[in-house]
Amino acid sequence: MTAEMAPWQTVPPPDWLAQVGIRLARAADLEALEWEGEYAHFRRMYAEIYARTQAGQAAMWLAELAGVGIIGQVFVQFGRPQPGPRQMYPAYVHGFRVRPAYRGRGVGTRLMDALEDDLRRRGVRQVTLNVVAENSGGRRFYEARKYFVTAPDPGRWTYVDQHGNTQAVDEPGWRMRKVLQ
C-alpha cells in the first residue's frame, strides 16, 4: 500500500464481510458519498436528498466497513412529487453502488434488504427504479430480487452540478418495478 492509497482502494481485509454495518446516512457522510471526487458533480443532489430525509421524504442507506469507511449506498425518494424522472413514483430507488473491491459478496443485497424492509414499515408497497440499458449486471441483480421491466425508459434528466451548472443526462434504459410482499 502506497501512502496515497486510501483503505478502500486496497484488497479488502480478511473477514471484512462480517464487519459491514448497514445504516442511514448522517450529514457528516455526505462528503464520503462523492467517492474522492468521482461523484462530486452530484454534491447538490446529495445535499437535497439528505434534506428530504429530514422531512421524511427520502432515505439514504449506507454500508460502512469499520476502518475503511463507506463502501456502498442506495437512496430512495418518496412522497412529494419531484422534478426529473422520479416525479410519478411512490418510491424511486437510485444512486445504488458498491465500491468495486467489495462487490459480489452480498453488500448490495443487504443494502436493498434494508431499504425494502424500511419501505414495508412505512407502508410503501411499490418500488420503481431505472437501469441503464448497458448495465446487464445491474438488471440481473434486480431481476433476482423480483423487479420486472415495465417499460423502456428514455433516461433523460437534469441536475445542477457543484458549480451551479445544469447538466443533462441521457442514458436510455429500462424502468423496473417490484411489488413488496
Ligand X SMILES: CC(C)(COP(=O)(O)OP(=O)(O)OC[C@H]1O[C@@H](n2cnc3c(N)ncnc32)[C@H](O)[C@@H]1OP(=O)(O)O)[C@@H](O)C(=O)NCCC(=O)NCCS
Beta carbon nearer to ligand X, 54 or 61: 61
Q: How far is CA 7 from CA 12, 144, 148, in A?
A: 8, 31, 36
Q: Which residue is associated with the grid cell 417490484?
A: 178
Contact between 140 and ligand X (CB under 6 A)? yes
Residue number of the CB closest to ligand X reads 108
User: Three cell numbers at 55?
Assistant: 422531512
Q: How far is CA 162 from CA 26, 35, 85, in A?
A: 20, 14, 20
- 67 sits in the region (left: phi over 0; alpha: psi -120 to 50; else beta) called left
Beta carbon nearer to ligand X, 80 or 103: 103
The single residue among 14, 37, 104, 164 that binds ligand X, judged by CB under 6 A, is: 104
CA–CA distance, 1 with 14 (Å, rounded to integer)? 16
CA 154 to centroid of chain Cα atoms: 20
Interacting span for ligand X (CB under 6 A) from 18-26, 31-39, 132-140, 145-153: 132-140
Shortest Å, Cβ 17 to ligand X? 10
Interacting span for ligand X (CB under 6 A) from 22-30, 91-99, 115-123, 145-153: 91-99
CA–CA distance, 42 with 12 (Å, rounded to integer)? 27
The single residue among 22, 44, 79, 135 that binds ligand X, judged by CB under 6 A, is: 135
Shortest Å, Cβ 74 to ligand X? 7
Beta carbon nearer to ligand X, 29 or 123: 29
CA 14, 101, 162, 134 dihedral sign is negative
The single residue among 78, 96, 147, 174 that binds ligand X, judged by CB under 6 A, is: 96
Contact between 18 and ligand X (CB under 6 A)? no
Interacting residues with ligand X (CB under 6 A): 96-98, 103-109, 131, 135, 137-138, 140-141, 144
